Amino acid sequence: MKLVVTLIANPSQANLTQQHVDHVQTVLSKLNCIPSSPSWLAEKIACDISFEGEDLAALRNMVQGEVSEFSIDSVIQPAAHRRKRLLLADMDSTIVIGETLDELAGVAGLKVQVAAITERAMRGELDFKEALRERVAMLKGLPATALDQTLAITELTSGARQLVQTMRANGAYTVLVSGGFKFFTSAIGKKVGFHEDRSNEMIIENDVLTGAVGDPILDRDAKLESLNSISAAKQIPLKETLTTGDGANDLPMILAAGLGIAFHAKPVVEEKAPAAIRYGDLTALLYIQGYRREEFSA
């Protein structure tokens, strides 16, 4: 099987060297996976090495183990169908920095309490739906203006717009799918350039949060269903889909996609995902698809 390993550094560090590339080529050669000449996608940031191999899981662990000490990511995948036609991305701690619900709780002076529940839910230690209801109930009585305050301080993850705009420019359909709330996904989705967003509804009456969440709640199963239904509606095979996220509720869609990527993810997600970005920003997801730096949009 023809495979390709992409070595990726964080653009802010740009610390990928020819020595790192040579080292990985040597490792592949010792495993009888004869590598081709490297193809640089961005100087000091990303490089492809094609080779023949079979045991994907073993190769992924071996190569990542060789480069992790240099704070470099590696992703190994089949060379065919690298450029994906459908992107589903989580929002909190993926497309944006941090958790919007935690920041909203901060306006009420409850960030520590709410963030502790969020962390456990994202690690898969709590039922997502119950954890969401519990956190929102704690915010009952908070003025709706707190949503605007939270949105104003929400920052995009580096590379978010480049990822979405570049994939859109190359014909991909892009969806922001979140266990968070429509107020945020609608604004963030438009800012980044997603075709659509799917999320939950926070019930507000008389400009005050009621502490309730609208049903049905978009959880891990709903994210997977979104992947399957959009893929079918757009007639895009699953092998041509890309999903990314950081929490346990993202894992089903990550495992079902043609390529699922754990992005600066919780341990349970990183352990099970077929690919993980630990050091790079969201442009890593473009390099993984074989895009060169000069092809980026936005």
Residues marked as catalytic: 90, 92
Q: Residue 137: how many CB atoms within 10 A of its CB? A: 13
Strand partners, 171: none
Q: Residue 36: how many CB atoms within 10 A of its CB? A: 14
Query: Exposure of 241 by Cβ count < 10 A (0-12 exposed, 13-18 middle, 19+ buried)?
Result: buried
Q: State the virtual CA torsion across 144, 145, 150, 152 in degrees, nearest 10.
A: 140
List, as own/partner pairs, every contact residues 240-243 make where C-beta atoms lie below 8 angstroms and the sequence separation is at least 24, other chains included. 240/81, 240/84, 240/85, 240/86, 241/84, 241/85, 241/86, 241/87, 241/88, 242/84, 242/86, 242/87, 242/88, 242/285, 242/289, 243/87, 243/88, 243/89
